Amino acid sequence: MIDLDFNKNDDKMRLLISEMKNIKSKILMGGGKEKLKKQHLQNKLTVRERIDFLKDDDADFLEIGCFAGYKMYEKYGGCPSGGVVAGITHIEKKQCIIVANDSTVKAGAWFPITGKKNLRLQEISIENKLPIIYLVDSAGVFLPLQDDIFPDKEHFGRIFRNNAVMSSMGITQIAAVMGSCVAGGAYLPIMSDESIIVDKTSSIFLAGSYLVKAAIGESIDNETLGGATTHCEISGVTDYKAKNDQDALIKIKNIINKIGQHEKAGFNRVKSIPPKKNEKEIYGIIPRDRAKPYNMHEIIDRLIDNSDFEEYKSGYGKSIICGYARIDGWAVGIVANQRKLIKNKQGEVQFGGVIYSDSADKSARFIANCNQKKIPLVFLQDVTGFMVGSKSEHAGIIKDGAKMVNTMSNSVVPKFTIIIGNSYGAGNYAMCGKAYDPRLIVAWPTAKLAVMGGEQAAKVLLQIEKKSLEKKGEEIDKKKEKELLNNITKKYNYQSSPYYAASRLWIDAIIDPLETRKVISTGINAANHSPINKKYNPGIIQS
């Protein structure tokens, strides 16, 4: 028997994935074909060619922040990937992070989102104790937006502070200067542990030849001022001179392959087994109408090894599913929102995707158990928020919700968040949104991130808009009201899309659901490099 609803859901998901791939294909072109050709004419590899050359041939590259800056800087011609390509991969069989400027995007200049993206990659390096490689090719700060990148704690200068802190933590940092390295940006490679500079095509200086002439009247060319020979033989600023891009990347590999092994966190892993149920069926299970319920167990069964799930308190707090499983061999604790309609003990139908008091209480206790057993946590988000109304308030929903948030916040095992569908308001917080330090947070193309659902928010905003216009003496008829509602809904839906979130780095990536297992496995493998030294304190869970 053909399930037409399943097939329509499948078609919708495939369309969303196709749209995502189309957008991504344009982003991968950086500053465009002509500028990519210019790189080759300058005897330089493009940014993605550098990464492909550097990483192991059989290694995946989990790109972080590919959609950073998407549609944010169109006034200035755009900033694909925030002008920097970055992610997690393996070099010489060692898991590392690569952060590489794309000089085809405004000469690699730093936009505000570029700084935020670099800080995010440094954060991943610090959390997981992973070596980080910087491939530098940048003209420095994008001056028209300097006020948004210069002076604050989360701006450009924080990167150099992190360089120093990471060095004190013993995290290997290697920088290869493969083009321009100007002004404040010149500190990044020199504050790394070891630095390489490519002869003839690269330079490092606090001020270029034109500024030097203007400032002190000295006439000098850039190569003499800050080229490879100058810094390798006169100033001693850099450690290695490379003949070309390929030679510089080989030198990085030669350094990486001699790094010794560090203590591991010791997360449990056995041989990986594919899910027993077909992963591709996820496409047909997720409803094309986001308001429709579905059974989250069906999704879990297609993400975990052998579809083998040991559910915790299966008969209690049913609006959240908790349980133990394995993903690519790694032991995990799963906390997932249940989207199907559920009957409680009183026979009342509970809304899918809403967190109730009993579910919050169950989740808090399960998270504590995973911390006790040193099991990484995976959050599968499709949540509209906590239950409201007098019955919930009298039952202590605020207290139980606080217990869940407290326990999750104090968790010392690594957390990974997958936004499958809705991610609204306090539900986003309780299910480990970006503010709660997941090691990685990614979204499926079906995701929506907002304070509340579009329809509800639009109605609230409409009432505010109507009152504002009425105060000005404008009459609002039904036609005008409908027009206002449509405009508000359109704007709100745009701002709640996964692309809006990804462009601002509220999430690390938008992925095909079939990539979920790989993302989680890569994340736990990274986290395993960082032993847990902090003692877990469950706080108010016992109250």
Sign of the alpha-carbon torsion through 210, 211, 217, 218: negative
DSSP string, 446-488: T-EEESS-HHHHHHHHHHHHHHHHHHTT----HHHHHHHHHHH
Distance in angstroms (rounded) separating the CA atoms of residues 378 and 324:
10
Asked if residues 103 and 138 have their Cβ atoms less than 8 Å apart, the reply is yes
Q: How many CB atoms lie within 10 A of CB 389?
A: 9
Distance in angstroms (rounded) separating the CA atoms of residues 341 and 35:
54
Asked if residues 134 and 121 have their Cβ atoms less than 8 Å apart, the reply is no
CA count, 13 A, side-chain hemisphere, 38: 12
Distance in angstroms (rounded) separating the CA atoms of residues 78 and 93:
36
Asked if residues 357 and 392 have their Cβ atoms less than 8 Å apart, the reply is yes
* Tokens 């970055």 sit on residue: 86
Distance in angstroms (rounded) separating the CA atoms of residues 344 and 350:
7
Residues with Cβ within 8 Å of 289's Cβ and at least 6 positions away in sequence, in order, are none
Asked if residues 84 and 137 have their Cβ atoms less than 8 Å apart, the reply is no
Q: How many CB atoms lie within 10 A of CB 49?
A: 16
The amino acid at 231? H
pLDDT digit of tens for each residue in the chain (543 aa)? 458 999 999 999 999 999 999 999 999 999 999 999 999 999 999 999 999 999 999 999 999 999 999 999 999 999 999 999 999 999 999 999 999 999 999 999 999 999 999 999 999 999 999 999 999 999 888 989 988 888 888 888 899 999 999 999 999 999 999 999 987 778 888 899 999 999 999 999 988 888 888 899 989 988 999 999 999 999 999 999 999 999 999 999 999 999 998 899 999 999 999 999 999 999 999 999 888 999 999 999 999 999 999 999 999 999 999 999 999 999 999 999 999 888 777 777 777 889 999 999 999 999 999 999 999 999 999 999 888 777 778 677 888 889 999 999 999 999 999 999 999 989 999 999 999 999 999 999 999 999 877 777 777 777 887 787 778 777 777 787 788 788 888 888 889 999 999 999 999 999 999 999 999 999 999 999 999 988 888 765 544
> What is the pTM (predicted TM-score) of this model?
0.94
Residues with Cβ within 8 Å of 290's Cβ and at least 6 positions away in sequence, in order, are 421, 422, 446, 448
Axis-axis angle for helices 478-495, 454-471 (nearest 10): 130
> Closest Cα to residue 12, out of 280, 288, 289?
288
3-state class (DSSP) for residue 99: strand
What pairs with residue 350 in β-bridges? 342
Axis-axis angle for helices 245-256, 47-54 (nearest 10): 40
State phi, psi for 432 to the nearest 5 degrees: 65, 60
Asked if residues 299 and 285 have their Cβ atoms less than 8 Å apart, the reply is yes
